[in-house]
Structure 1
C-alpha cells in the first residue's frame, strides 16, 4: 500500500484540525479553554487521579497543570485533595458539576457531528465509515508515540 504524499498528509492534518476545532468551538462554551476541557475530561474518565499522572497524560508541566486545576476548582468542576495512599501527593477528582459539564459537552459534540453527517451523501457517509479503522489506528499510533 502506498504512503500518502505530502499534499495528502497536509490535507489530512488540516481537515482533522478543522473538524476538531469546529466540534470544540460549538460545544465547550465560552468559559473553558480547550486545555481545560481536556483536563476535565481526563479527570472524569479516569476518576480521582494524581496530579503527576494527570500532567503526564495531558502532556503539561506541573506548574501549568496546577494553575489549570485551580481554575477548574474555582469554577466548581474539580476538587483537589491529598492522596490517601501518599499524604504528600495531590490528586484531583471531578465534582458532580464537572461530570455534568463533561457529559453535556460530549453529548453536544455527538449531536453536532450527527447533524452534519446527516447532510452528507450516502457515498460520503460510506467513505467515512470505511475510513474509521484507519483513523482509529492513526489515533492509537499518535497516542502511543507520546
Structure 2
C-alpha cells in the first residue's frame, strides 16, 4: 500500500488541526479571529490585492470578507482603496500596524514551534525534518486543489 490507511489519515488530520489551534491559542491574541489572521497575512504577503482575489485565496464569500475587512480596517491593520483600474472594485493593503502585527504573529509562532520541537524526545525532530517535503507537497496540493 503506497498511501496512508483511513486511521492514519484521520490521525494526520487531527494532529495538524491540533498544531494549528495550539499555535493560534498562543500567538494570535484575543482581538483577531483565525480567519482575520489568515486574511491579514494574505494581504501582507500579496501586497495590495483585490477583494475578489482575496476572497478566492481565503475561500470566503464576498459579503463575509467585506465585513471582516471592515473590522480589520477599524483595528487599523488594513485599508480599503478603490481599484485604480476599476472604480467599482476595492483593493486592500496592509497598514504599517498590519505588517507589524503579521510579523509579530509569524515570529511568535516560529518561536513557539521551535521551543516545542526542541523539547521533543529522541529523533522526533529528525522525523519532522524528513517529513517536511511530504507536508509541503500536501499543503501545495490542497492549496491548488490538485490530487496529482
Q: TM-score range by the shorter chain?
A: over 0.9
Cα deviation, residue 122, structure 1: 4.1
2: distance between equivalents of 1:5 and 1:122? 26
What does residue 21 of structure 1 align with?
Answer: 21
1: distance between equivalents of 2:110 and 2:38? 16
Matched residues, number: 146
Aligned runs of 1:1-146 on 2, under 5 Å? 2-145=2-145
2: distance between equivalents of 1:141 and 1:122? 31
Cα-to-partner distance string for 1:96-140 (whole Å, 9 max, x where unaligned): 000000000000000000100110134111100110011011111
Calculate the TM-score normalised by the size of structure 2: 0.96
Q: Which runs of 4+ in 1 moved over 2 A?
A: none
1: distance between equivalents of 2:76 and 2:51? 17
Cα-to-partner distance string for 1:18-50 (whole Å, 9 max, x where unaligned): 001101111100000000000100000000001
Calculate the TM-score normalised by the size of structure 1: 0.97
1: distance between equivalents of 2:2 and 2:82? 52
Unaligned runs of 5+ in 2: none
